């Protein structure tokens, strides 16, 4: 048994399998990237309380 | 056995919901800039495997039977083992392929109704013939007549050029490899 776009001999047929996959093994279609919207506002830097020097 | 008795009567028939995964090799075509990449059968004039849609088997005897037919050689071919593909003519891409629909299992491989690649990698066909799948990563891809793309390692490019095969353009293999996997939305084949 030869050809079929591969040009190698795959031997004699052994059995027939009917495969109905629950999920067809195709990649998911690529969704367009969502609009990122306005740039996030930078948070104000926190002013940390300065601890008094220890004794 | 008489030649006009169908083999189908001797074969068992099973059913499953799990696609079969097999090895396969393809030829590759694309434009001179490495775009419009298409996997094609390495032999014959069958249709290309289009991105994002299942390949479907067809037979030149379509009026007589659907593909694959037990008594014909039609169908999308794949193999159990990668080593047997070293006998393939001019492979440019090696990969794992999922098969479903009607699948005929053979001693060394399969013929299937539907298929789609799952993992792909470019191979230097000369390294693959000599040493198998390991160490066949190409460095460049040559663009030749009729949009044929052939991956080469550097030593085999030099050897091919000595024997008169002169690609019109060379593309970086890493870029073509990545674009191929993006085109078909599949993962890299790990050897």
**How many structural domains compose chain B?**
1
ipTM strictly over 0.90? no
Query: Over chain B, what HEC string results?
Result: CCCCCCHHHHCEEEEECCCEEEEEEEEEECCCCCCCCEEECCCCCCCCECCCCCEECCCCCCCCCCCCCCCCCCCEEEECCCHHHHHCCCCCEEEEEEEEEEEEEECCEEEEEEEEEEEEEECCHHHHHHHCCCCCCCCEEEECHHHEEEEECHHHHHHHHHCCCCCCEEEEHHHHHHHHHHHHCCEECCC
**B17 in contact with chain A, both atoms CB, cutoff 8 A:** yes
Asked if the structure places residue B162 within a domain, the reply is yes
Q: Name the token pair of A21.
A: 């996959």
Ramachandran angles phi, psi of B159, nearest 5°: -65, -45
Q: What residues of chain B score a pLDDT lower than 50?
A: 1-2
**B91 in contact with chain A, both atoms CB, cutoff 8 A:** no
Asked if the structure places residue B55 within a domain, the reply is yes
Which of B122, B144, B140, B109 shows the shortest CA–CA distance to B22? Answer: B109
**B88 in contact with chain A, both atoms CB, cutoff 8 A:** yes
Asked if the structure places residue B13 within a domain, the reply is no
Of A1, A18, A24, the CB nearest to B73: A1
Residue A1 has pLDDT above 50, yes or no: no
Q: Do strands B12-16 and A13-19 pair parallel, antiparallel, or not at all (unpaired)? A: parallel
Asked if the structure places residue B86 within a domain, the reply is yes
Q: Which residues of A touch B111 (CB under 8 A)?
A: 1, 4, 10
Asked if the structure places residue B29 within a domain, the reply is yes
Ramachandran angles phi, psi of B101, nearest 5°: 80, -140
Q: Which domain holds residue B31?
A: 19-188
CA distances from A18 to B53, B144, B173 (A): 20, 40, 38
CB within 8 Å of chain A, chain B residues 56-75: 70, 73-75
Asked if the structure places residue B2 within a domain, the reply is no
**B18 in contact with chain A, both atoms CB, cutoff 8 A:** yes
Contact state of B100 with A27 under an 8 Å Cβ cutoff:
no
**B119 in contact with chain A, both atoms CB, cutoff 8 A:** no
C-beta of residue B141 within 8 angstroms of C-beta of residue B176: yes
C-beta of residue A19 within 8 angstroms of C-beta of residue B22: no
Q: Give the model's pLDDT for residue A3.
A: 45
Q: Which residues of B touch A20 (CB under 8 A)?
A: 15, 17, 100
Q: Which residues of B touch A29 (CB under 8 A)?
A: 52
Each residue of A2-53: pLDDT tens digit? 445 667 889 999 999 999 999 899 998 766 666 767 776 666 666 666 676 6
Q: Give the model's pLDDT for residue B134.
A: 85
Asked if the structure places residue B91 within a domain, the reply is yes
Among chain A residues, CA nearest to B72: A1
| pTM confidence score | 0.84
Asked if the structure places residue B8 within a domain, the reply is no
Interface residue ranges in chain A relative to chain B, Cβ cutoff 8 Å: 1-22, 24-30
User: How many alpha carbons fall within 13 Å on the CB side of residue B51?
Assistant: 19
Cα angle vertex B37, ends B183, B58, to 5°? 95
C-beta of residue B114 within 8 angstroms of C-beta of residue B175: no
Q: Give the model's pLDDT for residue B169.
A: 96
């Amino acid at each position: 048994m030869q050809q079929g776009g591969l040009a190698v001999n795959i031997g004699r047929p052994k059995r027939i399998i009917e495969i109905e996959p629950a999920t067809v093994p195709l990649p998911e279609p690529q969704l367009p990237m969502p609009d990122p919207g306005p740039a996030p506002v930078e948070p104000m830097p926190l002013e940390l309380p300065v601890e008094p020097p220890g004794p | 056995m008489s030649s006009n008795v169908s083999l189908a009567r001797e074969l068992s028939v099973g059913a499953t919901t799990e696609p079969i995964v097999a090895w396969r090799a393809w030829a590759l075509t694309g434009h001179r800039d490495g775009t419009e990449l298409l996997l094609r059968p390495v032999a014959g004039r069958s249709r290309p495997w289009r991105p994002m849609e299942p390949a479907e088997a067809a037979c030149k005897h379509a009026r007589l039977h659907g593909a694959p037919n037990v008594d014909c050689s039609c169908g999308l071919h794949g193999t159990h083992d990668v080593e047997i593909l070293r006998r393939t003519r001019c492979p440019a891409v090696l990969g794992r392929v999922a098969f479903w629909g009607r699948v005929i299992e053979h001693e060394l491989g399969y013929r299937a109704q539907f298929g789609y690649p799952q993992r792909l990698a470019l191979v230097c066909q000369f390294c693959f013939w000599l040493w198998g799948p390991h160490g066949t990563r190409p460095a460049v891809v040559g663009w030749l007549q009729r949009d044929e793309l052939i991956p080469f390692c550097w030593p085999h490019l030099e050897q091919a050029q000595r024997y008169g095969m002169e690609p019109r353009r060379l593309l970086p293999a890493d870029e073509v490899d990545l674009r191929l996997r993006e085109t078909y939305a599949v993962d890299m084949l790990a050897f």
